[in-house]
Structure 1
Amino acid sequence: MIAGDELAFARLFGKYKGLIYHFVMKYVHSPLLAEDLTQEIFIKLWENKSNLSGVTSFKSYLFTTAKNHTLNCMKAAFRSEAALGLVVNSFNAARNSTEDELIHQEYLAFLRRVLESLPPRTREIFYMCREQEKTYDEVAQELGISRNAVKNHMVASMKALSFSLKKELGISLTVFFAIVSR
């Protein structure tokens, strides 16, 4: 294949496409997207075949390429709101209930940890607005503060949560709330 033998490439594709497809599915949970990414991975492999001369384990190289390409595509997709909806919906449809509950609990524990790091008043306002679903006006009236103060506390809590999500989990606030809001 390194020398440009298309038949050798076709044999490698036939041998590994199923493995790569299932590997990619673990990340994207969308059959159509997994199929597209699998094809892109093999195209990338063909285009960079000259890099294979120093590779000692083709299978390891292939799976590393697949993982990197998939993660890079997912990062790009998460930047697009339309693609985000497709990925989250496919992800939610593909999960089993046990896995779903474990992931949900892990994200809720993460949320609790981040909220515990906030000042008590900011944390209280976040809970009132998000968990009790009160409006800013209702929270302001109940706490005897201005609506603007409630808004400022919510902005601070969302900034802290967004920063922690990107830093620790590598996901956006939109993705996080799509996953924990069932």
Structure 2
Amino acid sequence: MSNHIQNDQGILLQQLIAGDESGFAGLYDLYNRPIYNFIIKFVHSVPLAEDLTQEVFIKIWENRLYLQGVKSFKAYLYTVARNHTLNSLKVVFRSEAAIGEVINSFIDTRSEVEEDILHKEYLEFLRKTMDSLPERTRQIFKLCREQEKTYDEVAKSLNISRNAVKNHMVQSMKLLSSSIKKEFGISLTLFMIILDGIR
């Protein structure tokens, strides 16, 4: 994005935050089609994608005061679009497995721009969350999750009991689950499905 466009977007964003409808209209014109194209990869339905796109921008308008501290409006907008779409689909599918299939379908068709936004957002969030864990808990999580070692293997390598490994994993998963729900409005299961897809 050029500096000129970034400056224009910054002006529009400040207008939006101030309640100026022209700022909202400018950002809507700029992002309406990209967000629609993003959502339709989840829902594969033109009418539904159009409705969800409108609802996303309504949320942006209603929550405009919260935008003051947002570093990247584009990343924020895509996050709102994804979360609103997934939450809407939950009403239809009623299961994590079905939503997982939708996400996998989306992962197969997303663009490099969307991939870059989601990749950076999720990995940065995961890094910060993991950094907040005690060192031993973080170490065990990485061994189990990233290196895919069993509890028994980790217990043997660290010379601790299997139950201790399990307790550390329960602690880390609880923190991740609550943090993800608060930050993104989705479950830990969905987060892991998406994260695995964008790595």
SS of equivalent residue, structure 1 residue 133: coil
Q: Does 1:139 align with 2:130?
A: no
> Is residue 104 of structure 1 aligned with residue 114 of structure 2?
no
Question: Can you give the 5+ residue segments of structure 1 that lack an aligned partner in the other structure?
Answer: 1-19, 42-61
**1:1-182, aligned counterparts within 5 Å?**
23-30=35-42, 32-36=44-48, 38=50, 41=51, 63-64=54-55, 74-78=86-90, 79-182=94-197
Q: 1:25, 1:31 within 8 Å by CA — same for their partners in 2?
A: no
Q: Indicate the RMSD between aligned Cα atoms, in angstroms.
A: 3.1
Q: 1:94/1:140 Cα in 2 relative to 1: closer, same or farther (>3 Å)?
A: same
**Which sections of structure 2, spanning at least 5 residues, go unmatched?**
1-31, 60-80
Preserved CA contact (<8 Å) 1:114 1:161: yes
The CA deviation at 1:93 is: 2.1
Shift of 1:145: 0.9
Instruction: Tell me the percent identity.
Output: 48
Could you tell me whether the CA contact under 8 Å between 1:25 and 1:34 is conserved in 2?
A: no
* Cα separation, 2, equivalents of 1:66 and 1:83: 26
Of structures 1 and 2, the larger Rg is shown by: 1
Alignment deviations for residues 34-77 of structure 1 (CA, whole Å, 9 cap, x no partner): 43454xx4xxxxxxxxxxxxxxxxxxxx9348866x86663143
CA contact (8 A) 1:125 1:153 kept: yes
Given the superposition, is the C-alpha separation of residues 30 and 128 from structure 1 closer, same or farther in structure 2, using an over 3 Å criterion?
closer
Label 1:67 to 1:37 Cα distance change in 2 as closer, same or farther (>3 A): farther
Structure 1 residues 64, 101: closer, same or farther in 2, change over 3 A?
closer
Q: How many residues align?
A: 142
Task: Give 1:104 shift.
Answer: 1.6
Report the Cα distance in structure 1 between the residues aligned to 2:190 and 2:107, rounded to whole angstroms.
12
Deviations 1:9-52 (A, max 9, x none): xxxxxxxxxxx8975443352462343454xx4xxxxxxxxxxx
Find the residue that maps to 1:171 and give its secondary structure: coil
With 84-93 and 150-159 compared, the bigger mean Cα shift is at: 84-93
